[in-house]
Structure 1
Amino acid sequence: MRVLGVDPGLTRCGIGVVEGGRGRQVRLVAVGVVRSPSTEPTAERLLHLQTELDTWLDRFQPDAIAVEQVFADVNVASVMHTMQASAIPLLAAARRGLPVELHTPTSVKAAVTGSGRADKAQVTTMVTRILRMESAPKPADAADALAIAICHLWQGTAAGRLQDAARAEQARLRSVPGPSTTRAAVAR
């Protein structure tokens, strides 16, 4: 499975693509940051982000998109810009029919480091180790995008196994004669 992770931001938007599956090492496919100058109008900055994201989607053909859920902060203007930027990958996923999932910062940190309270340095260190990179991805937005993609890959793989097990159990239960079938057979 190939996942494109997005750490949304209007000035810097981290994008990372990882690949992996059950019993396979997670592999780095690509990582980068889309930048837009704060001097440009917001609409132009969002268009630039959309164009760059579409280029990544065309080039890397992910199976899913994972986006970090916006965390409310005291800086309302910053939160608004981040929320606007987070809409771009959601729309891109809908246009392409790709599954998209929002992950909280705490769940991403917990998945990658084992602690939902990890700091950015710990996340970057673990991403570097997990992906066996020679050097840490920079800036932090790039490392965060990879962490989001890894979190989604791991949680999606586990969720998929649980769904498969539930479907198998349901099929097994449908094939086992129920109480009414057993009683009918005994009554004959």
Structure 2
Amino acid sequence: MRILGIDPGIAIVGFGFVDKEGSKVVPVQYGCIQTEAHTPEEERLLHVYEGMTQLIDKYKPDAVALEKLFFNRNVTTAMTVSQARGVMVLAAVQKGLPIAEYTPMQIKQAIVGYGKAEKKQVQEMTRMFLKLQKVPKPDDVADALAVAICHAHSYTLNSRINEVLRK
């Protein structure tokens, strides 16, 4: 199963593709889509949408996992990132892909085992889990890989629960 993990943003969208092979999760490709700061918002959204569509077409994931947005201060930023997230979801839905969402706490729990772990802990555990030489940069990329790993774990657990419930 190939999973696309996404850390939504408007300036930087982190993405990470992983393959779940039995109990192993293996990195396939990761990076970011970046938009220029002083570009009109609609052009930035188009760039994110086109970038996401190209990635989906190239790497052909079976599922998409996104980090749920959480903002407690800047409403303007929240609106813009929400719009960017919307075009990412649109790109996935148009390709018929199932979408899962995880809160930052759920992701931290899945990666570190503690829902209030520090960002650096999550990134280091992601690096170790995927056997990478160093933590991917920018941070958004490591975060996207953590989302993908979280989904790989959750998908396995949910599949097992559903099997038990069907019996």
If the TM-score is normalised by the length of the shorter chain, which range does it land in? over 0.9
**Distance apart, 1:22 and its partner CA:** 3.4
In the alignment, structure 1 residue 12 sits paired with structure 2 residue 3:
no
Q: Note if contact 1:34-1:52 (Cα within 8 Å) is conserved in structure 2.
A: yes
SS in 2 for 1:118: coil
Q: Unaligned stretches of 5+ in structure 1?
A: 170-188
In the alignment, structure 1 residue 37 sits paired with structure 2 residue 36:
yes
SS in 2 for 1:6: strand
Root-mean-square deviation (Å): 1.0
Distance (whole Å) between structure 2 residues aligned to residue 38 and residue 30 of structure 1: 25
Distance (whole Å) between structure 1 residues aligned to residue 123 and residue 90 of structure 2: 28
**Distance apart, 1:78 and its partner CA:** 1.4
Q: Note if contact 1:22-1:157 (Cα within 8 Å) is conserved in structure 2.
A: no
Q: Note if contact 1:67-1:89 (Cα within 8 Å) is conserved in structure 2.
A: no
Number of the residue aligned with 1:61 = 60
Q: Tell me which moved more, 84-93 or 102-111.
A: 84-93
> 4+ runs of 1 displaced by more than 2 Å?
none
Distance (whole Å) between structure 2 residues aligned to residue 41 and residue 7 of structure 1: 21
Equivalent residue pairs, number: 167
Q: Note if contact 1:21-1:153 (Cα within 8 Å) is conserved in structure 2.
A: no
Distance (whole Å) between structure 2 residues aligned to residue 161 and residue 21 of structure 1: 16
Q: In the TM superposition, what are the counterparts of 1:44-123 in structure 2 within 5 Å?
A: 44-123=43-122
Spell out, residue by residue over 1:16-71, the C-alpha distance to the aligned partner (whole angstroms, 9 max, x if none): 01111433x11000110111011001110010001111111011100000011010
SS in 2 for 1:30: strand
Q: Report the residue type matching 1:77 in the other structure.
A: T
Q: Note if contact 2:12-2:140 (Cα within 8 Å) is conserved in structure 1.
A: yes
Q: Unaligned stretches of 5+ in structure 2?
A: none
Spell out, residue by residue over 1:54-95, the C-alpha distance to the aligned partner (whole angstroms, 9 max, x if none): 111011100000011010220111111211111122112211
Number of the residue aligned with 1:124 = 123
TM-score norm. by structure 1 comes to 0.86
In the alignment, structure 1 residue 165 sits paired with structure 2 residue 141:
no
Distance (whole Å) between structure 2 residues aligned to residue 89 and residue 39 of structure 1: 21
